[in-house]
Structure 1
Amino acid sequence: MKRYKCLFFGTPEFVLPVLEFLYTGEDLLGVVTQPDKPKGRGLEKAPSPVKKWALSHGLKVFEPVKLKDPEFLKAIQSLSPELIVVFAYGKILPREVLEIPPEGCWNIHLSLLPKYRGASPVQWAIFNGEKETGVTIMLMDEGMDTGPILLQKSLEISAEDTSLTLLKNLSALSVIALREALSLWKKGDLKPTPQPDEGISYAPLIKKEDGFFTFEEPAERILRKLKAFSPWPGLYTHYHGKILKVHSAKSYPLTEDKPSGKILKISPEGILVATSQGAILLEEVQLEGKKRISAYEFALGQRLKAGDSLAL
């Protein structure tokens, strides 16, 4: 079967399985990724995972600040790519790029479009308690995840899934979906289908404040925040004017109403706290400026006891 001359646009680590698939299955000309960004305490500039992978495989790497840069456009036009595959690149492609490959620009989006268009579909699907998500291979246009659908694969979201575990599963499913879509496309058996007008929703970029919670929220909502927004921005609240991060927790039903934030029990298992609906067992926490410890150690250190309030 014909191998396409491809360019890959992507940035984070979870896209590497797709990059590896294109490297072995098609003629990969190079990658386009976000410029090096400051990382760590020293804020030294670090390459994206896609750049590191591409350089280790001897591939061309492009890091344009602006996708309409004439020099960048000239450079990728000279490569004559037949297909561009985009997966978590981080920017919307302009018309000048979309018009380059004759087979089009394909985007791999981690939701069942038109649900959860936007930058953070995995996190918002978990936060909203969705039971199912999936992968959409779409033909790109100038909108944000608005192009016609080529192929979709669905995936169940388990009760234990976090954004990290779901992302890993969706990354693996993306390879399967792209392989099938390319095979069908090359045979002429795949036709773009416009997205329906019904069922459109959005998944905006995650902000730091999305991880904040109070005990006035239901326990299940707090737990969904923990699963959705770890490792960043993480789940956190305020305690005596400082940030208290929650690294591990469980929700519990309550048979009677208790004031939100009231400590119901302290044990080696953790701190059981009432919420507006149900209770949450804090297992591992981290007070601002301190190391991560068990909630039981935190309770002992703060001299907390049942009946005290954490709603501070």
Structure 2
Amino acid sequence: MQLTHRLSGALLGLVVAAGATTATTATAPAAHAAPPVAHVAPVQAAPAHAADMPAVLAPAAHVIDATTGRVHFSKEADLRRPVASLTKMMTAYVVLQRAEPTDKVEVTADDVRYASAGGAAVAHLRAGDTLTVENLLYALMLPSGADAAHALARAYGPGVEEFVAEMNATARRLGMDDTVYVNADGMPYGGGGHSTARDQVRLAQAVLENPTLEKVTSARYHMVPATSEHGSYSWRNTNRLLGTPGALGVKTGFTRAAGYTLAFAADRGESRLVGVLLGESDSSRRFQTAGALLDWAAAAVQQ
């Protein structure tokens, strides 16, 4: 939320102490460009409820009320950074533009080999198993399976390169002008791509508007009984916010380049709060910070 007057010295000191450095506007992305060097953000006005704002140590963050459009918190929201497995939100979103949840995809040896060769998180899919798109989305979003990402991108590009091109085209359509994808899983191949906290919040909103994806991202566990087409599977969500009031997911991520990332959301009262943290150095702290931001923003809605 931006006021038209400049902060007073006292309020500015309060905002800096709370870690609430606000966003800047980045220049348009070049294809496969690496994130630029961090820059100094211009000072913007703090929310009216800044006095009890949680400390946010992550380098970039953005939290909004998706119901009203109100920005509750913004810190370097337009700074381009790698986002790791938050990339899989776009993979899931694009798949459901092209497929039905009941469609089926056969897992190939290439899907399994691709994921295991890069050291990515996997859903332990088995070559030769045929799974529904919905079950592959659970494999993609809960354990963050790069094998599921490869299988879906290969099937619905058709071909991974074509699928990634559609990811970038979809980003433009969603207004994510500071986002470039180079693969379907967020691993640092080919430079790893980049996005911003603001763009990823916009994507998380779009993901949660799809009933299938809202159901998937909100699931703490998912089990797939064995059938004649596939073996049994059991996946646990890596998002430790699930189980807290109103939590909806959305996605976790980590690479050395990106640090720990988190897209999070919760329905609180009449509001849907959506946020993103990028570049956190501590895995547990990202969940603690997100929970504190959700509580703080929800309290502000009641004011």
Q: TM-score range by the shorter chain?
A: under 0.3
Normalised by the length of structure 1, the TM-score is 0.25
Select the structure that is richer in strand.
1
Normalised by the length of structure 2, the TM-score is 0.26
Q: Which has the higher contact order (CA 8 A, sep 6+)?
A: 2
Bigger Rg, structure 1 or 2: 1
Select the structure that is richer in helix.
2
